[in-house]
Amino acid sequence: MKFLFGLLLILLGLFCDLAFADQTRQSGNAFLSPEMLKQQNDPSMNPISLWVDQGQELFKANCQECHQSVAAIAKAVVQFPKWGEDKSSPGKLINIEDQIASCYSKKTGKQSANDDANILSLSIFLSDAARGLKIHVQEPTDTKVKAQWQSQMNLGAQIYTQRQGRLNLSCTQCHDQRIGKNLRSEIISPAYVTGFPIYRQSWQAIGSLDRRLRACYSGVQASVPASASAELRALELFLKKRSEGMLWDGPSLRR
């Protein structure tokens, strides 16, 4: 009962968020320093540019034969995670890197992890091509699939609000209740998912949303879910739905 009530509050919150979308929701870019924004907006200074170029080469060599229009395939970026089904499995949520890795391995015969440099470059290339598109999570039409999808959405909402780790903090306690506050060298943003993958200066590397989320778990000293785990996909679905209607920023620079 308490859980259902909590869920109702979240959904109401989501509704209010959507209703006031343009005024109230800020992307993570709004929390960058002026110097970092300048670096992000200048391709000659932005380390992500190299990854976009590399992704484009890989796309031409491995993908274009089946996906002729980059603009058409880039739409997937703002729609994932989706419910993926093949004949052998009962179906589960897959995100954009899961999909890219699956197509890549079919084409090349090589199995690649989601955080493999080639998969990340391809993801960055598509993310860059999706700039300016509206986030629009696709709900399944089949009733049985829709029920499974909804239960993953509820799971994501539950994870987002439950306290965890040695610091005993929930996602919402930072990303809804401490927005704009400093945490070590960072400023807490509302955690909308509008611009991934990211180049994070403190990593000196590119990372996916999975890597970012794992860093937040470890920040509160909670046990960290594995990359590509069902838990991270459920959370991603909830976060993406929470960002519904916002404009995609493309791959982003972070502290």
In the bound complex, what is the minimum distance in angstroms from residue 44's beta carbon to ligand HEC? Answer: 23
Q: Which residue is nearest to ligand HEC (CB)?
A: 28
Residues in the chain: 255
What element of type H or E holds 70? helix 70-79
Q: Which two tokens stand for residue 95?
A: 């995100």
In the bound complex, what is the minimum distance in angstroms from residue 173's beta carbon to ligand HEC? Answer: 6
In the bound complex, what is the minimum distance in angstroms from residue 168's beta carbon to ligand HEC? Answer: 10
Q: Which residues would be at the binding site for ligand HEC (CB under 6 A)?
A: 28, 62-63, 65-67, 73, 76, 82, 99-100, 103-104, 107, 122, 160, 169, 171, 173-175, 183, 186, 188-189, 191, 193, 198, 212-213, 216-217, 219-220, 235, 239, 254
Please tell me whether residue 52 adopts helix, strand or coil conformation: helix
Contacts for 12 with CB less than 8 Å, ≥ 6 apart: none
User: Closest CB to ligand HEC among 220 and 247?
Assistant: 220
User: Closest CB to ligand HEC among 1 and 178?
Assistant: 178
In the bound complex, what is the minimum distance in angstroms from residue 81's beta carbon to ligand HEC? Answer: 10
Q: Are 24 and 17 in contact (CB under 8 A)?
A: yes
Half-sphere exposure of 252 (CA within 13 A, CB side): 21
User: CA 195, CA 130: separation in Å to the nearest integer?
Assistant: 10
User: CA 122, CA 102: separation in Å to the nearest integer?
Assistant: 12
User: Closest CB to ligand HEC among 150 and 202?
Assistant: 202
In the bound complex, what is the minimum distance in angstroms from residue 65's beta carbon to ligand HEC? Answer: 5
